[in-house]
């Protein structure tokens, strides 16, 4: 009898402690806005959404190895080899971010036209799925591929909500998220004010795009100065590295310290200058 009571008591203690020992992970809301989401958004905007992250890591490693090998073969200075390796690893993320930024700026001017096409289609009596799918042929050129993919996806499964989620992932833009979430809400709960809401959104997007373009044009000198300030000392170092005595000087402890400090100062100064000339970007709240 005592054995049965002990077993029952132990089972009770185990059940009491089970929420702490084995939490229900499936019920936790997914984290958003992390580094993985930012990387996937940048790849999608750069047109590389289908490329797996491990492939990107492998390419970064290969370019880093190649850059380090070339620096070692030319300069034979360990510190410069390390700097070249780090810069080689950062080359792919920098190119992806630059392409994604250019696509984001270009798309900012076409979203009002996308909204206008949606309003015209809805007022003509087309359903919301057909209105979105028509943008694959009638919409602005930069976004036609994503909406054409939505059209094919919707024809396969007929689930508007799932197709909208995939379209949001392909576009990876906060403005597109707002437009598509408005359409999702209009389809799920109904309402006759969807065209008025879309027209108001189109007007706001045009004003925001015009204001951003004016500010960016006025602050372009900050970005140009930052790029010139970063490139000038290292171009001078490459010119001086053509002399053997310069390589011997930088191969010493003092020279290595100077290179490391120069890299740190360059990075801090460049980040500070670009931060002064950067406008705040809207975050993706509707993933």
What per-residue confidence (pLDDT) applies to 24?
52
The torsion of the CA quartet 107, 148, 31, 281, rounded to 10 degrees, works out to 0
pLDDT tens for the chain, 287 residues long, are 555 555 555 566 556 555 555 555 444 444 455 566 778 888 888 878 778 888 888 999 999 999 889 988 888 888 888 888 988 888 888 888 888 888 888 888 888 889 888 888 888 888 888 999 999 888 888 888 889 999 999 998 888 889 999 998 888 888 888 888 888 888 877 666 778 888 888 888 888 888 887 877 777 777 777 778 788 888 888 787 778 877 787 778 888 888 888 888 888 887 887 777 676 777 776 66
Query: Is 278 in contact with 219 (CB distance < 8 Å)?
Result: no
Q: Beta-carbon neighbour count of residue 118 at 10 Å?
A: 26
d(CA 135, CA 181) in angstroms, rounded, equals: 16
Structure tokens that stand for 283 in this block:
């975050």
Residues whose CB falls within 8 Å of the CB of residue 74, separated by 6 or more in sequence, listed in order: 241
What per-residue confidence (pLDDT) applies to 42?
82
Query: Is 250 in contact with 77 (CB distance < 8 Å)?
Result: yes
Q: Report the run of H or E that residue 263 belongs to, with start and end.
A: helix 253-276
What per-residue confidence (pLDDT) applies to 150?
92
What per-residue confidence (pLDDT) applies to 236?
82
- Cα–Cα distances (Å) from 49 to 17, 56, 166, 172, in that order, read 43, 11, 12, 10
pTM assigned to the model: 0.68
């Amino acid at each position: 009898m005592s054995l049965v009571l002990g077993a029952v008591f132990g089972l009770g203690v185990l059940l009491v402690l089970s929420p702490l020992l084995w939490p229900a992970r499936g019920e936790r809301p997914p984290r958003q806005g992390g580094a993985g989401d930012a990387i996937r958004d940048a790849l999608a905007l750069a047109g590389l959404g289908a490329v797996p992250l491990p492939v990107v890591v492998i390419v970064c490693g290969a370019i880093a190895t190649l850059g380090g090998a070339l620096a070692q073969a030319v300069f034979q200075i360990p510190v410069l080899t390390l700097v070249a390796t780090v810069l080689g690893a950062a080359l792919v993320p920098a190119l992806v971010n630059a392409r994604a930024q250019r696509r984001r700026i270009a798309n900012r001017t076409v979203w009002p036209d996308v909204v206008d096409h949606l309003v015209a289609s809805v007022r003509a009596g087309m359903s919301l799925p057909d209105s979105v799918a028509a943008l694959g042929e009638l919409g602005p050129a930069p976004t036609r591929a994503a909406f054409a993919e939505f059209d094919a996806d919707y024809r396969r499964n007929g689930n508007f909500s799932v197709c909208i989620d995939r379209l949001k992932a392909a576009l990876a833009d906060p403005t597109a998220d707002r437009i598509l979430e408005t359409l999702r809400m209009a389809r799920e709960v109904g309402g006759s004010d969807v065209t008025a809401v879309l027209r108001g959104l189109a007007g706001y997007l045009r004003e925001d795009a015009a204001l951003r373009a004016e500010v960016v044009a006025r602050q372009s000198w900050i970005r140009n100065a930052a790029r010139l300030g970063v490139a000038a000392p290292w171009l001078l170092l490459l010119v001086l590295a053509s002399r053997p005595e310069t390589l011997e000087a930088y191969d010493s402890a003092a020279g290595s310290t100077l290179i490391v400090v120069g890299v740190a100062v360059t990075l801090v100064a460049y980040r500070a200058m670009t931060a002064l000339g950067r406008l705040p970007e809207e975050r993706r709240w509707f993933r």
